[in-house]
Structure 1
Amino acid sequence: MSQQILFSTKNSSEINNNERRYCICQKSEDELNEQDNHDDFMIECDGCNGWFHGRCVVLPDRIADDIEKYFCMECSKQHGPSIFKQQQNQHRRDYSDANAEQKPIQSGTKIFINKLKQKTFSDCESVILRIKGDQLTNEYLFKNGFTKPILISNRDGLELTLPDRMITLEEINKLIDQDQYIDAIDCEKQVIYKMSFTDYIEYFESYDRNKIYNVLSLEVSNTKLGEFIIVPKIVRDLSWTTTGIWPNKKKDEKFENNIETNEINQLKNKRTWPSQSSLSRTKRRTVSSTTDTDQSDEDEDLNSHHFENFERPEVGKYCLISPQSSYTDFHIDFGGSSVWYSIVRGEKIFYLIEPTDENLQKYADWSKSPNESETFLGDCVSHCYKMYVREGNTIFLPAGWIHAVYTVIDSLVFGGNFLQSMDIDMQFR
C-alpha cells in the first residue's frame, strides 16, 4: 500500500467569532465563494473533519483522488500518514473497486487498450483519399467534394509551417504563457486535472509513468508559439474566420474547446462550495464562483443570439501532447467543425466511422447511454476503419466523421478546427 504524509500546520475547523473558518489559510465560507481561483479544490481530513485547500497543503487534485483516507499534519501525528487506494483491477475506471471482477471493461483502461490492439478493423483505403499537398486546392475540393478524410504523406505543397520536430517541451513552455496551468486528461479515469506546464514536463519526461495524462486543449494562437505556426493554405482559403464570414466583433468571454473530443468540458466537474450542512457528505469539492448575470429567457435581448455578437473562436492552432497509450473515445468534433491535424513527431491510430444516417443515430444512442464507457462503438456499426497517421503526415477530417484516437508512441501534434461552407448541412445537424 502506497503511503504519504501530507502536511498542514493548523486545524481547519477553528471557530472565530462564531464563524467557521477553513484550511490553514483560515478563510470563511463567504471568502471561499468570493475567491477567484475557480479550479481550486478542498479535501476533508478523515481525522478532524477539517477542510483544506489542495494548494495550501501542497496536494494536487490528481493525487488527492487516489487517497483513501486523508490526514492533515496534526492528525497524522495520531493516525499516521494518509492512506492511498490499492489497485484492485485494471479494467475499471475505479481501479480500487474490489468487486469489479464481473463488471464490463471500460474504455481507456489497461485491459481495454490490450484488447483494442487485438481487434480487427476494415481497411481505411476505401473511405479516405491520399493525395499530394499541392493537389489540395479549392478547385480540387469543389470538384471532388470534402466528404472523406484526406491523408497527406508529407507537408510539401500545403504551405503549412510548424515548429521543428526537435522542439522540446521546455521550449514550448517558454513560448506560451510560461508555466501556465493546462488541462490534462487522465486517460484511464477520463477525468481532467489542472497541471502547471512545468509539472507536466516533469511527468512526461519521467522514466516511470504510472498515469497517462493527455493534453488536447492547449490553444496557442495568441502566444509566441502560435507565431511559429501557419495553418495550411486550404484552411485559410475555406475557414469562416479568415474568409470574412465570421465578423470581427468580439465579446469578452473566452471560447475554449478540444480538437480531439467535443465532450471534454463534460469531464470538468466544477461545483460550488458546499453549504455547511453538506460538508460532511462530500470528500472533495471544487470551489467555483457563481454569476450574478443570470436572466430568464424572456428577459434576454434577442440580439444577444445574433451571430456577430459571439467571439470569433480561437480554435485554429492547438498543440497536442500525448504519451504512449493515450486513448480518446469516439466523438464528433465540436460544432460540426472540420479538422486539420499534423504530426510533428510520434504516431497515432484513428478509428473512423462514416457519418451515415444510421451511424449517426447509433452514435447519438451510444453517447446518451449510461453504459457508454463499457461499449466500444466500433462493434456496433457495420464498418469501423483503422487509419495510421505517422510522423510528417497531415490529415483533413470533414465535419461529422465519428472517430476515436489511440497514441502508438509519444506524440507531438499541431492542428486546428474550422468551419467552412462546404459542410454546412453536416455542421447544422
Structure 2
Amino acid sequence: MQDSNICTHCELEENPNALLWVKCDSCPQWVHVKCVPLKRIHYSDIPSTPVSSYPNSWKEIKSYRCVNHYEEEFLAIFPRGLPNGKRQRDRGENEDSNHISKRYNFRKKKDIDYIALNEGEAKREKMIHPHKDTFLRCFEKWENKSNIINAAKFAATFNDIREPYKISDPWSSGVQVPKMETNKGVLTVNDITEIIGEDYRVDVMDVQTQMNETWTLGSWNRYFTQTEPGNRDRIRNVISLEVSNIKALELERPTSVKQNDLVDQIWNWNEGLGKVNDEEAEEDNPRPKVTKYILMSVKDAYTDFHLDFAGTSVYYNVISGQKKFLLFPPTQSNVDKYVEWSLKEYQNSFFLGDVLEDGFAMELNAGDLFMIPSGYIHVVYTPADSLVFGGNFLAMRDLETHFRIVEIEKLTKVPKRFTFPKFDQVIGKLCEYIVLSKNKKTVGGRDTDLIAEVSNSTIELLYGYLLKPGVKYKPLSFASRNYLVKALADLVT
C-alpha cells in the first residue's frame, strides 16, 4: 500500500513545483493541489464548471475527494469573493460531529507547526519517530540523577535557580491533583472526560501529518482509554488543554509558582480599587490562560526541540505514565544554533541535540514534579501513555530571558497565536507597579508592596522593552505610554 503522505499523482513527498497539499475528506491520503488535473477542480456552487486556474491557498479550498473513495477525483473551491471568516465558521451538514478538521485538511509541507512544538512533533512513519533512537543515545549521554531538591529549598532559593530540578517531595510543594474513587485514586483521562463533559472540544494533534483536529473529549477518551496501543491508527496527542477556568478539576499549582508568577501578582491591579486576584475584575479583563494544562500523550509521542513561549518557566507534574526530557540551557551558543535550526526548511532531517552543549536529561515517572527554568531548549519523548498536569509562568527573576526569547520568536516568525497571550499588558502593568511602589504611592489605601525591591538594571530592562515601537500598552495610571516610560527613566537618574 502506498504511503498516504506520498502524492498519488507525482509519487513524491516533496515537490518543489507543488508545495500546497490537500488531504482527502474520507481518508489520510494527501496529494499536491497542483498535481490534481485542472478539469477535476470546480467551484463548490457550480460543480459542473471547471476552474481556469489552481487555488494558491488552502483558504480557497472547500473539500477534496481522492480516487480511493470516489469514481472520479474532485476538488471543490469556494466561489470567489466569499468571506473567509464566514466560510470557516459555517459547519456543513455532513461534518463528523466528533472530528472537525482545522484548516480544512490543508498543509504546506515545509511549515513549522508551533502547536506541535508544545507537545507532539510530527514524524515520517506511522508509529516510530525518526529521531527516537538518536534521542535515546543523547539522553544516555546527558542523563542527570543529581538535580533533585526538596520543595522548601526550591522555594527559598527560587531567585537563584538556573537549572532544571526534580522535586524530591512533591506532596510538600502545594501541587494538588484530585484523588479519585477509581483506579487506585489516580486521576485518569476517563475522569477528566466525566468532569469536563464528553462534548467538550479539544485540539488533537496527529503527530505524523502535523495536522490539528478538533475532537470531543468523549471521542478522545475512547481513543486513549479504550484502544490498545498496538491498535491505534495513528500517534496522537492532546497537547494544550488549558483548564484554569474548570474549577471542578480541583488542580492546584505549586506554592512557589503562585508566589512568583508575575501574572498572579499584577494582573487584576486597579489603582483606585486595589483589586488583585479578584474574580469580578477577572471577568472584565481575563488573565492570560497559560497556568494550568492537561497533557495527554500516547506511547511513542515525540516533541521536537522548542522554547516555551516568551521563555516561560514550567512546572510539570506526571500523574501517570513516563516522560524523558532532554534540555539545554539558553547560552549564546545554544540559542544561536537553535535559531539557525528553526529557520531551516527541513528541520526533521537533523537532530539538534547533537550540536547543543551542557545538556540535562531527566526521566520522570508517575508522581514526579519537574521544574524547568526560563529559556531552556528542550525535547520530550513519551515511553508510555501519560497524563500530565503542568503550566507556564513569567517571573521577575527571568525578565532578561523573557525579552530575549520574545525577540527570538519574532526572528523565527512564530505566529502570534502561539506566543504568550497579552505579554505586553503584563509587562506594562509591572512597570506601573514598580513606578508607584518606588514613588511611595498607595493603591486602594494600602502600599503597593506586591513587587519586591527592584534593581536599577531590572528597571533599565523594562524601560528598554517599553520603548520598542511594536509594544502596545495603554497605562491605567498615566496619560500615555510615553509618560510611563519617562517615569521609569526617572527612577534610575
- Say yes or no: TM over 0.5: yes
Show the counterpart of 1:372.
347
Residue correspondences, number: 303
Of structures 1 and 2, the one with the larger relative CO (CA 8 A, separation 6+) is 1
The alignment partner of 1:417 has SS state of strand
Aligned match of 2:189: 169
Residue 397 of structure 2 is matched in structure 1 by: 422
User: Residues 57 and 395 of structure 1: is their aligned pair in 2 closer, same or farther, counting only changes over 3 Å?
Assistant: closer
* Residue of structure 1 in register with 2:45 after alignment: 21
- Give the Cα separation in 2 of the matches to 1:405 and 1:5: 31
- Superposed CA deviations along residues 171-214 of structure 1, whole A, max 9, x for unmatched, are 21132254222111112233222211111111112121121111
- The question of 1:206 aligning with 2:256 is answered no
Shift of 1:398: 0.8
Give yes or no for contact 2:44–2:76 (8 Å, CA) kept in 1. no
Q: Which residue does 1:150 correspond to in 2?
A: 165
Percent identity at matched positions?
29
Equivalences for residues 82-101 of structure 1 within 5 A: 93=123
Give the SS at the match of 2:131: helix
Residue 337 of structure 1 corresponds to 312
Q: How does 1:221-370 map to 2 (within 5 A)?
A: 221-226=244-249, 228-243=250-265, 245-248=266-269, 311-370=286-345
- Specify whether residues 350 and 55 from structure 1 end up closer, same or farther in structure 2 by C-alpha distance, changes over 3 A only: farther
Distance 1:189 1:109, change over 3 A: farther
Give TM-score, length-normalised by structure 1: 0.62
Code of the residue aligned with 1:141 in structure 2: it is: F
Q: For the residues of structure 2 that align with 1:6 and 1:156, how far apart are their CA atoms?
A: 47
Alpha-carbon displacement from aligned partner over 1:266-297 (angstroms, at most 9, x marks no partner): xxxxxxxxxxxxxxxxxxxxxxxxxxxxxxxx
In the aligned structure 1, how far is the partner of 2:259 from the partner of 2:95?
Answer: 51
Partner deviation per Cα, 1:43-102 (whole Å, 9 max, x = no partner): 223527364977615494679969xxxxxxxxxxxxxxxxxxxxxxxxx95669xxxxxx
- Rate the CA distance shift 1:213–1:425 in 2: closer, same or farther, 3 A: same
Q: How does 1:50-69 map to 2 (within 5 A)?
A: 51=76, 56=94, 58=96, 60=99
**Aligned to 1:140, which of 157, 180, 186?**
157
> What code does the residue aligned with 1:49 have?
F
Q: Distance in 1 between matches of 2:164 and 2:398?
A: 13
Amino acid at match of 1:148: E
> Against the structure 1 CA distance between its residues 169 and 402, is the aligned structure 2 distance closer, same or farther, given a 3 Å change threshold?
same
State the one-letter code of the partner of 2:65.
Answer: C
Relative to structure 1, the CA distance from residue 172 to residue 61 in structure 2 (aligned partners, 3 Å threshold; closer, same or farther) is closer
Aligned to 2:373: 398
CA distance in 2, matches of 1:184, 1:20: 28
- What is the alpha-carbon distance in structure 1 between the residues aligned to residue 254 and residue 354 of structure 2? 34
Contact 2:124 2:130 in 1 (8 A): no
CA displacement 1:286-338 (0-9 Å, x = unmatched): xxxxxxxxxxxxxxxxxxxxxxx985201111111111111111111101211
Tell me the CA shift for residue 110 of structure 1. Answer: 3.6
Q: 2: CA distance between counterparts of 1:173 and 1:320?
A: 13
Contact kept, 8 Å, 2:123 with 2:130, in 1: the verdict is no
Partner of 1:188: 208
CA contact (8 A) 2:128 2:300 kept: no
Residue 355 of structure 1 deviates from its aligned partner by 1.1
How far apart, in 2, do the equivalents of 1:5 and 1:237 lie? 48
Residue identity opposite 2:264 in structure 1: T
Distance 1:136 1:171 in 2: 31
Do 1:133 and 1:154's aligned partners in 2 also have CA atoms closer than 8 Å?
yes
- Which structure's residues are more often helix, by fraction? 2
* Aligned partner of residue 329 in structure 1, secondary structure: strand
Decide whether the 8 Å contact of 2:138 with 2:353 is kept in 1: no
| Aligned-partner Cα distance in 1 for 2:347–2:395 | 31
2:352 alignment partner AA? L
Question: Secondary structure of the residue that 2:172 maps to in structure 1?
Answer: coil
Gap runs ≥5 in structure 1? 8-18, 24-38, 67-91, 97-107, 250-308
> Partner amino acid for 1:21?
D
Supply the distance in 2 between the matched residues of 1:20 and 1:188 (Cα, whole angstroms): 29
Q: Contact 1:351–1:404 at 8 Å: present in 2 too?
A: yes
Contact 1:122 1:383 in 2 (8 A): no
Distance 1:160 1:373, change over 3 A: same
Distance in 1 between residues matched to 2:169 and 2:233, nearest whole Å: 34
Which TM-score applies when normalising by structure 2?
0.54
Question: Closer, same or farther in 2 for the Cα pair 1:335/1:225, shift >3 Å?
Answer: farther
